[in-house]
Amino acid sequence: MHAQQFFVLLAAVGTTITEAHPPSNVNQTQTPHRPPAPRHINGGSFECNTARVRIVAGLQETRTNVEDIADAATKDAANEGINQSANAIKSIAVAIFSGQTPPGDARLITEAGLNVTQAALQGATSKFLSACSIDGKKKKDTSDPAVVAASATFAEAVAAAFDVVEFCT
């Protein structure tokens, strides 16, 4: 299901690029056999469509990293947020590709899911920090590399989400 979302958005960007640059053998003065398609999905700019792909890819990479997290509670909470965001993004994509208006609350649901994921990853980091400095004594670094990796890819997904808000209307 999540790979499907990525494919749908990737196809959309590919369509955007090919529609923006018709093949050179097409005579621009002739009427095409089909009505011209919009250059961008739902009037979105190249930046908008790129941001859409980046958030889906970022969430998928984060999900992959989250699967390697040792702490089950952190893993479950992070996955819950990713699923919430991914489902909201899917509803937006389905609406766009069917020519409908995306659900009005889909961005808020996406944001809520991102907040859940962020809280889970930050909670894991906080547990690590307090375990490293009990009674002011430094302990061995025992951070979970999967949390570090998930946090990095999640930051990329969040940056893409901000770009979606900025570039997509």
N-to-C CA span, the chain:
25
Q: What residues make up the domain containing 134?
A: 2-17+38-167
Per residue in 110-164, pLDDT tens?
999 999 999 999 988 655 555 555 555 555 455 789 999 999 999 999 999 999 9
The answer to whether 144 touches 71, Cβ cutoff 8 Å, is yes
More confident residue, 113 or 5: 113
Give me the pLDDT at residue 97, please: 87
Q: Hunting for tokens 């997509």 — which residue is that?
A: 168
Percentages of the chain per state (helix, strand, coil), in multiples of 5? 70, 0, 25
Q: For residue 26, is it within any domain? A: no
Q: For residue 132, is it within any domain? A: yes
Q: What pairs with residue 138 in β-bridges?
A: 133
pLDDT over threshold 80, residue 61:
yes
Per residue in 82-119, pLDDT tens?
999 999 999 999 998 898 888 989 999 999 999 999 99
Paired tokens of 71:
């702490």
3-state secondary structure of 141: coil
Q: For residue 32, is it within any domain? A: no
Q: For residue 112, is it within any domain? A: yes
42 — alpha (psi -120 to 50), left (phi > 0) or beta?
Answer: left
pTM: 0.69
Looking at the structure of the chain, the number of domains it has is 1
